Structure 1
Amino acid sequence: MDQLNILFFVMALLLFLSVLASRLSARLGMPLLLAFLGVGMLAGEEGLGGIKFDSFTGATLVSQLALAVILLDGGLRTQFSTFRIALKPAAVLATWGVVASVAVLGIFATFFLGVDWKLGLLMAAIVGSTDAAAVFSLLRNSGVRLHQRIQASLELESGLNDPMAILLVTMLISLIMQPQETTALSALAMLVQQLGLGVLFGLVSGKILAWLLARIPLAEGLYAILVASAGLLVFAVCNIFGGSGFLAVYLAGVMVGNARNSSTEHVLTVMDGLAWLAQATMFLVLGLLVTPSQVWETMPSAVVIAAFLMLVARPLAVYTSIKWFRYSRKELAYISWVGLRGAVPVTLAIMPLMSGVPNASLLFNVAFAVVFLSLLIQGTTIPFFARKLDMVLPEKPEPLDIREVWLAKKLSVTMQSFQVAADSQAEHAHPYAMTREPKFRNGRLFALIRNGENVRVGMNTQMQQNDIAWYVLPEEAGESFAEQFAGGELSRQEQEFYGEFVVKPDAKVGDVAFAYGLQVPEEVAGKTLVDAFREYFGDVPVAGDKLYWDGVCVTVRELDEKSNIQSFGLKMPKKEDTEKV
């Protein structure tokens, strides 16, 4: 019993210290995942804790379970609009992009490390795919508002590329251990089986689970347990039948998350905590598993391999995959840079060890070092390069908080709060005056909070700076309503990014050119701005999409909830930013 209590004590203490370390990590600008990894290494055999943990089976079990939970949570928060925006390029990145990256890196590793070509390709396959846990965590907590198409491409790629990485690792292990039984045809059959069953199990199970959530009344706390257990069930069953459990659980989460009702709202809050617990536990265990001295011995080689992966293999894979989808040079550069490696490569690196592949310990240590360097270098510079490459959209006015009160299974009332900024329309105005515009006529003041206390609203009440006003307001009206509470700084940021002039979406390109003295190609002069943008970017434009004509930049400024463009911004760009169309 004492040993069991000691185990509980150690596990709880490590998790507690990891969460506290995450605050320091955030202040230093390092990814939170590194804090969990660092605590595990410090507690390990060669660290201060001296804990000896060498169970690769246990580490694999924890990692697989944690990744399933993380992908389920990521799917729950992925909107269908994300697929409309970036499914095609993300799918190419998740298939051909992984193959191209593995091929280029594998050839380099074979000659650089002086190993057999099969071992070189295996090492490349282990680190060849981006990691969903790292991408979801670091992009969504980067502190910058990324261009939506770029973020969608990166998140979908990380959620979809595991089947290809697992296939390549499995095939290469088989080629090393059982060369006579491994053929290109068997590899292709395995890929089709993994992808096909993953998609089938994910979509069907997701639909069934969403249907159950909408019809089965449960205590609020049980909905998240139902979804988490069902997700793990889908993951396990799909794997048993030879499909990709990772793909299946991610797609199941997407189906459930987009079938919004009172049950799914209860699920999201709890799943967020479960996903953080899964990430913390997974990186703690991987930190305990690794032997720092062995990793340090391989660090010089790992630095070269990581550098080649970041600066050569990944950019080549990205360029050959999605250049044809009209991404700009800067967008390609940013997608190349955010090729984050995380727990998946370390988990894949355990497979050769368990299969008895010669020199498997070298693969594991190099993979771990590459992951550490990726999180340290790429993870810490996500916001910096986003700003440097103009991937950041200006902060937009938005509600301070949003709460939904569900009156029935599919009927809810949305309450939104807004903080009064200095020099805003709301400052010194009556709270009721904010809902006078026709488009806000359904809004109702719920409460006015000042210095943490409720203010009784009378005929002469005026809002002051930093007051928080709560309104019952349709969710889709929140951002435009928030403009009344925003100060001049946000307006200046928007003007700097979009330009001083606002242009209507139905304006003809030729008319805009005539008004501003521009020269535009004859083939676009007769088209409306909306048609020109949709022809170039596809049917789902996003805020921040840009076209340049005769040195003038036209940018999508505002869209409605159905992705219809409402307005464009027009400005003279800097010379170095100009890209002719």
Structure 2
Amino acid sequence: MNEYVLIAAAGLLLISVLVSKISDRFGVPALLLFLGLGMLAGSDGPGGIYFDNPAIAQFVGVIALVLILFSGGLDTDFKQVRAVLKEGILLSTLGVLITALITGWICIFLLDLPPLVGLLLGAIVSSTDAAAVFSVLRSKGISLKGNLKPLLELESGSNDPMAIFLTIGLIQLIQSPEQSALSLISSFFLQMLLGGVIGVVMGRLMGWLINHIRLGYEGLYPVLSLALVFLTFGVTSILGGSGFLAVYVTGIVLGNREFIHRRSLLRFHDGLAWLMQIAMFLTLGLLVFPSRLPAVAGSGLLIAAGLMFLSRPLGVLLSLIGSRFSLPEKVFVSWVGLRGAVPIILATFPLLAQIPQAELIFNIVFFVVLTSVLLQGTTITPAARWLKLDAPALPKRIYPIEYTPVGGFKSELKELAVPPNSPMAGKAIVELGLPDDFLVVLIARQNDFVMPSGGTVIQPGDTLLALADSKTFDEVCRRLCPPS
């Protein structure tokens, strides 16, 4: 019997990897494809796999979210995020709250729900999933102008804790009507504070341990990082903090520090994040019964429309009042508010808490997510072009060499593009007067690579792959690559 389970799991994973090519080619969000595959494999589909266990689905979802958020933090450049830190925090807190309140009252009006139950539904669908956004943008070969990309990255990585807090808090109020809503305010600040502080401490501790523990086998470093990620989440949650915020901050802090085996650890967690996304979406797809969705189609469409065209835009506009973002940028940010796996996971909380109308909430949330991904996910690229916010996406060059930093060695391998007006153009490397600790390792020239020597002449459009510490690299950039 175990063999059949393994074959089924392997088959679903293999098909998921293959259908991701559809996302790359046609710009269909991978989230939608994975969810659809899970629904086809479920009891209402040809797969016939019966799965109706919200507890298991929630457990899988929480584990997956922990690893996805940590991987997202590792891949976040804090130098870029710092420029939009205030706006990102406002969107992930105030923006989520406004979206939840307005959507909640829409649900109360349309479904005639008790106020707290309607607000609970609004809270569940209040967070965004920008991972699908960037897969669509990459598949169409465009990027975004200005600080839009770091803003969306920061919001998507940090707004889940607010939605989770609102969902759990409202469930507590429904189950214990005598509890004061004001008591949740102090709990919110405690969760955010503990999550942020523990995340910073654990990020630094992880960096220190990885550099100093001196394990005998490189393959044990991913195991170490994985253990510390789960430890961070568990300890933070037990202490009353936001474990999801803690692991995201831990990833940011670690990702912006130098540590040994950096490349292999980044690849490990990136692959693990993809595995967790597939597992999470397949599980959630299996959990839903598609035959029950038509009954909520009408109200689901109205709630989705209210969320996309009223709640989310107002949340964005009110949160970004006084910011330097233009109106077209704010409009784009509001349209990019895709709903993803988090709302579906949060919809399992009322099921387990046996809240009245819990099944109705789950089905509507699933329908809203599908509508959001179908409508918004497939129109992000046209929206960016229509608002004139798109920019050509520069393909990342793959070099024939790799570099693994060693603890105590501060140099990094970085790219230095040679603009047409650079003093380097037309000169040999030996004539540039480069610092002794600035080593040109390789030159990328058009579609070829050049092994450099002192007599190699630099040409406009070259990209130098150089080994140097950050201070020396910045100094050479200022001296030899003046702004155009």
**Pairwise TM-score range, normalised by the shorter structure:** 0.7 to 0.9
Q: 1:207 aligns with which of 204, 207, 211?
A: 204
Aligned to 2:406: 408
Q: Output aligned runs, 1:539-578, within 5 Å.
A: 567=483
Counterpart Cα distance in 2 of 1:160 and 1:455: 43
Helix, strand or coil: the match of 1:83? helix
Alignment-mate amino acid for residue 184 of structure 1: A
Aligned to 2:251: 253
Instruction: Please report how far the alpha carbon of residue 26 of structure 1 lies from its aligned counterpart in structure 2 after TM superposition.
Output: 2.1
Aligned to 1:285: 283
Instruction: Please report how far the alpha carbon of residue 48 of structure 1 lies from its aligned counterpart in structure 2 after TM superposition.
Output: 1.3
Q: 1:47 aligns with which of 29, 45, 49?
A: 45
Helix, strand or coil: the match of 1:393? strand
Alignment-mate amino acid for residue 53 of structure 1: F
- Deviations along 1:399-420, one digit per CA (max 9) or x if unpaired, are 45485423632435638699xx
5+ unaligned residues in a row in structure 2: which ranges? Answer: none
Counterpart Cα distance in 1 of 2:201 and 2:138: 28
Aligned to 1:173: 171
Aligned to 2:5: 7
Aligned to 1:371: 369
Helix, strand or coil: the match of 2:378? helix
Larger relative CO (CA 8 A, sep 6+): 1 or 2?
2
Q: 1:63 aligns with which of 61, 64, 86?
A: 61
- Deviations along 1:316-340, one digit per CA (max 9) or x if unpaired, are 0110101211211001101101112
Q: Output aligned runs, 1:157-556, within 5 Å.
A: 157-180=155-178, 182-218=179-215, 219-395=217-393, 399-401=397-399, 403-406=401-404, 408-411=406-409, 412=411, 414=413, 435=429, 438=432, 442=438, 444=440, 446=442, 471-472=465-466
- Shift in CA distance, 330/450, structure 1 to aligned 2, threshold 3 Å: closer
Alignment-mate amino acid for residue 51 of structure 1: I
Instruction: Please report how far the alpha carbon of residue 369 of structure 1 lies from its aligned counterpart in structure 2 after TM superposition.
Output: 1.1
Instruction: Please report how far the alpha carbon of residue 116 of structure 1 lies from its aligned counterpart in structure 2 after TM superposition.
Output: 2.0
> Is the CA contact (8 Å cut-off) linking 2:173 and 2:181 kept in structure 1?
no
Helix, strand or coil: the match of 2:118? helix
- Shift in CA distance, 37/397, structure 1 to aligned 2, threshold 3 Å: closer
Instruction: Please report how far the alpha carbon of residue 380 of structure 1 lies from its aligned counterpart in structure 2 after TM superposition.
Output: 2.2
- Shift in CA distance, 316/450, structure 1 to aligned 2, threshold 3 Å: closer
- Shift in CA distance, 77/129, structure 1 to aligned 2, threshold 3 Å: same
Counterpart Cα distance in 1 of 2:452 and 2:202: 50
Identity, in percent, stands at 41
Q: Output aligned runs, 1:120-135, within 5 Å.
A: 120-131=118-129, 133-134=131-132
Greater mean deviation of Cα atoms: 121-130 or 132-141: 132-141
- Shift in CA distance, 304/448, structure 1 to aligned 2, threshold 3 Å: closer
> Is the CA contact (8 Å cut-off) linking 1:400 and 1:416 kept in structure 2?
no
> Is the CA contact (8 Å cut-off) linking 1:76 and 1:256 kept in structure 2?
yes
- Shift in CA distance, 77/397, structure 1 to aligned 2, threshold 3 Å: closer
CA RMSD of aligned residues (A): 3.6
> Is the CA contact (8 Å cut-off) linking 1:445 and 1:469 kept in structure 2?
no
> Is the CA contact (8 Å cut-off) linking 2:74 and 2:256 kept in structure 1?
yes
Aligned to 2:71: 73
Alignment-mate amino acid for residue 204 of structure 2: K
Alignment-mate amino acid for residue 438 of structure 1: L
Instruction: Please report how far the alpha carbon of residue 193 of structure 1 lies from its aligned counterpart in structure 2 after TM superposition.
Output: 2.0
- Shift in CA distance, 263/289, structure 1 to aligned 2, threshold 3 Å: same
Instruction: Please report how far the alpha carbon of residue 102 of structure 1 lies from its aligned counterpart in structure 2 after TM superposition.
Output: 1.2
Instruction: Please report how far the alpha carbon of residue 300 of structure 1 lies from its aligned counterpart in structure 2 after TM superposition.
Output: 2.1
- Shift in CA distance, 70/402, structure 1 to aligned 2, threshold 3 Å: farther
- Shift in CA distance, 447/91, structure 1 to aligned 2, threshold 3 Å: closer
Q: 2:33 aligns with which of 21, 35, 58?
A: 35
Counterpart Cα distance in 1 of 2:414 and 2:264: 16
- Shift in CA distance, 25/404, structure 1 to aligned 2, threshold 3 Å: closer
- Shift in CA distance, 374/446, structure 1 to aligned 2, threshold 3 Å: same
Helix, strand or coil: the match of 1:325? coil
> Is the CA contact (8 Å cut-off) linking 2:428 and 2:456 kept in structure 1?
no
Larger Rg: 1
- Shift in CA distance, 436/382, structure 1 to aligned 2, threshold 3 Å: farther
> Is the CA contact (8 Å cut-off) linking 1:338 and 1:382 kept in structure 2?
yes
- Deviations along 1:20-50, one digit per CA (max 9) or x if unpaired, are 0111232221011222111111111011110
Q: Output aligned runs, 1:103-122, within 5 Å.
A: 103-122=101-120
Counterpart Cα distance in 2 of 1:340 and 1:380: 11
Q: TM-score, normalised by structure 1?
A: 0.73
- Shift in CA distance, 310/447, structure 1 to aligned 2, threshold 3 Å: closer
Helix, strand or coil: the match of 1:145? strand
Instruction: Please report how far the alpha carbon of residue 342 of structure 1 lies from its aligned counterpart in structure 2 after TM superposition.
Output: 0.7
Aligned residue-pair number: 472
Counterpart Cα distance in 2 of 1:271 and 1:48: 33
Counterpart Cα distance in 1 of 2:27 and 2:221: 35
Greater mean deviation of Cα atoms: 431-440 or 131-140: 431-440
Counterpart Cα distance in 2 of 1:118 and 1:337: 27
Helix, strand or coil: the match of 1:70? helix
Alignment-mate amino acid for residue 184 of structure 2: A
Alignment-mate amino acid for residue 212 of structure 2: R
> Is the CA contact (8 Å cut-off) linking 1:135 and 1:154 kept in structure 2?
no
- Shift in CA distance, 183/134, structure 1 to aligned 2, threshold 3 Å: farther
> Is the CA contact (8 Å cut-off) linking 2:141 and 2:393 kept in structure 1?
no
Alignment-mate amino acid for residue 321 of structure 1: S
Counterpart Cα distance in 2 of 1:379 and 1:325: 26
> Is the CA contact (8 Å cut-off) linking 1:435 and 1:443 kept in structure 2?
no
Alignment-mate amino acid for residue 291 of structure 2: S
- Deviations along 1:446-471, one digit per CA (max 9) or x if unpaired, are 5889999x99999x9999xxxx9985
Aligned to 2:148: 150
Greater mean deviation of Cα atoms: 92-101 or 142-151: 142-151
Q: TM-score, normalised by structure 2?
A: 0.87
- Shift in CA distance, 381/221, structure 1 to aligned 2, threshold 3 Å: farther
> Is the CA contact (8 Å cut-off) linking 2:429 and 2:457 kept in structure 1?
no
5+ unaligned residues in a row in structure 1: which ranges? Answer: 419-423, 426-430, 481-558, 569-581
> Is the CA contact (8 Å cut-off) linking 2:23 and 2:136 kept in structure 1?
no
Instruction: Please report how far the alpha carbon of residue 209 of structure 1 lies from its aligned counterpart in structure 2 after TM superposition.
Output: 0.9
- Shift in CA distance, 186/37, structure 1 to aligned 2, threshold 3 Å: same
